[in-house]
Chain A
Amino acid sequence: MAVVKLKGVSRYFPVGNKPITALDKVDLTLERGEFVVLRGASGSGKSTLLNLIGAMDDPNEGEVFIHGKALSSLSDKQKSQLRSHYIGFIFQSFNLIPVLTALENVQYPLSLQRIANNEAKDRAAQALAQVGLADFIHRRPNQLSGGQMQRVAIARALVTKPDIILADEPTANLDSETSKQIMDLLGSLNRETGVTFLFATHHDFVLSRASRILELKDGHIVKDEQLQNLNLVDQIASGEKVG
Chain B
Amino acid sequence: MLRLKLALLNVLRNGRRSFITLLAIQFGVISLILMGGFFASMYEGMREGVIRSQLGHIQIYQQGFNQFGSQQPEEYLIDAEVLQKVTKLVEELEQVELVTPRLNFTGLLTDGSRSLAVVVEGINPEKEALLSSAVKLTAGEDLFEEDTDGALIGDGLFKSLNLSVGASLTLMATTADGSFDARDVTAIGAISTGTREVDNRFMRMNLQHAQELMYTEGVTRLVVLLNDTKHTDEVMALLSEVFQEQGLALELRSWNDLADYYHEVVNLFDGIFFVVQIIVLAIVLLGIVNTMVMAVMERTQEIGTIRAIGGTRGEVMGLFISEAFILGLIGSVLGVIFSILLAQGITAASIMMPTPPGSSQNYPIRIFTEADLLWKNGLFGLLIAVISSIYPAVKASRMVITKALRFA
A77 to B307, CA, bound (A): 10
CB distance from A127 to the nearest CB of B (A): 13
Q: Which residues of A lie under 8 Å from residue B12 when comparing CB positions?
A: 99
A113 to B310, CA, bound (A): 8
Contact among A56, A77, A120, A160 for B401, CB-based, below 8 A: A56
CB distance from A113 to the nearest CB of B (A): 7
Q: Does A100 contact B (CB under 8 A)?
A: yes
The winner among B5, B305, B315 for most chain A CB atoms within 10 A is: B305
Q: Tell whether A112 pairs with B309 under 8 Å between CB atoms, given A56-B401, A99-B9, A99-B13.
A: yes
- From 70 to 128 in chain A, residues with beta carbon under 8 angstroms from any chain B beta carbon are 76-77, 80-81, 83-85, 88-89, 91, 93, 95, 97-100, 104, 107-109, 111-113, 117, 120
Q: Does B149 contact A (CB under 8 A)?
A: no
Q: Does A57 contact B (CB under 8 A)?
A: yes
Contact among B1, B304, B305 for A117, CB-based, below 8 A: B1
Q: Tell whether A84 pairs with B1 under 8 Å between CB atoms, given A91-B405, A97-B305.
A: no
CB distance from B377 to the nearest CB of A (A): 32
Interface residues on B, range: 20 to 34
Q: Which residues of A lie under 8 Å from residue B401 when comparing CB positions?
A: 56-57
Q: Name the prevailing secondary structure of the B interface residues.
A: helix
Is A83 a contact partner of B309 (Cβ separation < 8 A)?
yes
A109 to B311, CA, bound (A): 8
CB distance from A166 to the nearest CB of B (A): 9
Q: Name the prevailing secondary structure of the A interface residues.
A: helix
A59 to B5, CA, bound (A): 37
Q: Does B159 contact A (CB under 8 A)?
A: no
A156 to B308, CA, bound (A): 12
Q: Which residues of B lie under 8 Å from residue A113 when comparing CB positions?
A: 310
Contact among B6, B304, B309, B402 for A84, CB-based, below 8 A: B309
Residues in A lying within 8 Å of B, measured CB to CB: 51, 54, 56-57, 76-77, 80-81, 83-85, 88-89, 91, 93, 95, 97-100, 104, 107-109, 111-113, 117, 120, 156-157, 160
Residues in B lying within 8 Å of A, measured CB to CB: 1-3, 5-6, 9-10, 12-13, 301-302, 304-315, 401-402, 405, 408
Top 9 A-B residue pairs of the complex, sorted by shortest distance between their CB atoms = A84-B310, A99-B9, A80-B312, A95-B305, A56-B401, A111-B2, A117-B1, A83-B310, A109-B309
Known: A76-B312, A100-B9. 18 other contacts (CB 8 A): A56-B402, A77-B312, A77-B313, A81-B312, A84-B311, A89-B305, A89-B308, A95-B305, A95-B308, A97-B6, A99-B13, A104-B6, A108-B2, A108-B6, A111-B2, A117-B2, A120-B2, A157-B309
